[in-house]
Amino acid sequence: MHENGKIRVLVVDDSAFMRNALTKMIASDHEFHVVGTARDGVEAVDKVISLRPDIVTLDVEMPRMNGLEALRLIMDKNPVPVVMVSSLTTEGAETTLEALDIGAVDFIPKNLSDISGDILKIKENLLRKLKILGRLKPRLKKRSISRDLPPLKIRHTGERRISVVAIGSSTGGPRALQEILPKLPENFPVPILVAQHMPKNFTGPFAERLNQLSRITVKEAEDGEPIEPGKALIAPGGRHIGVSRGKALKVQVRVMPDNGESIYKPSVDILLKEVSRVYPGRVLGVILTGMGHDGLEGIKEMKKEGGRTIAESEETCVVYGMPKSVVEAGLADKVLPINEIAGEIINSV
């Protein structure tokens, strides 16, 4: 599979500038070998079959066959981890979310032509993601997401100990969240707060997509809005969310800028620490698929206060990084496949 132990990458983009920029970035690291490039979807599908790369970077807007059509064929005929190269516009976000539904494992921003300090950050982000995905061989099982899931029933079991559900996710998270939130009933009795690693412009369309699939209300969090039962608030991309008690002790969301302290934005650690402070011992923390260990420190604090934790099991994670760190630290009360997590959340509240 790997050539001299190197991760083999196919770069697909109709822009010669982008192909060269990506190829140079990837080839600058000795762990990679760029096995080829393609200018459109037709070439991409052919080269995936002939070159057998370990990972593909795939543009969306291309002549002859666009990225989404190519992705469908790749996932159907010759599944391989695909990272979308996405523009950071609202339209780019919607297309990227569709690509993640089809089977892409992750995405990177396309603004590589920015002549600024960002180029170094983009390069670091790209290489980090490709290394992890290339080494781990992420799970590419096609999961069909039902658009019409029957809601699960709330079992009333006396006193309620959980006052809020806090969910953290990263790589593979958009699909995982689409397997959880649509199963929750309209009368879900506590609020839900979600930190999904995403850039700005992506979380608004993502929240809207989840809202259309769900019976509960799902929206992007706004600073100062109340948190309420039956409502899931998604942390805005590139920022963090916390909570505070306002007038009449009502709890409201705080949307906070990132001051460069977090690798991941929105941060799962920050969300969990914040909710543990306001709801000590009454938080259900849910850690889903993702690379890295964001959420581990927050779960430690949450558990000290007596909160409960669910971690997604390895069998359904795209990347078993974030849940693994919680499980290996002995902090998970339940370790479950994604299809069982909504039921466990409902039983816990």
Return the SS3 of 285. strand
Contacts of 163 (CB under 8 A, 6+ apart): 190, 279, 282, 283
Helical ranges in the chain per DSSP H: 16-27, 41-51, 67-77, 90-102, 118-136, 173-180, 203-213, 268-278, 296-304, 322-328, 338-348
Q: What is the phi/psi pair of residue 114, to 5°?
A: -60, 120
Is residue 240 part of the annotated active site? The answer reads no
Cα(190)–Cα(163) distance, integer angstroms: 6
Q: DSSP letter at 249?
A: G
**Which residue in 197, 240, 269, 276 is the catalytic one?**
197
Nearest-CA neighbor of 58 among 77, 83, 81? 83
CA distance 163 to 281: 9
Kindly name the residue from 13, 14, 106, 294 that is annotated as catalytic: 294
Report residue 184 CA to chain centroid gap: 19
> What region, left, alpha or beta, does residue 68 occupy, with left being phi > 0 and alpha being psi -120 to 50 degrees?
alpha
The number of beta carbons lying within 10 Å of the beta carbon of residue 223 is: 12
Q: What 3-state DSSP class applies to 283?
A: strand
Q: Is 170 a catalytic residue?
A: yes
Q: Is 29 a catalytic residue?
A: no
- So which residues are the catalytic ones? 170, 197, 294
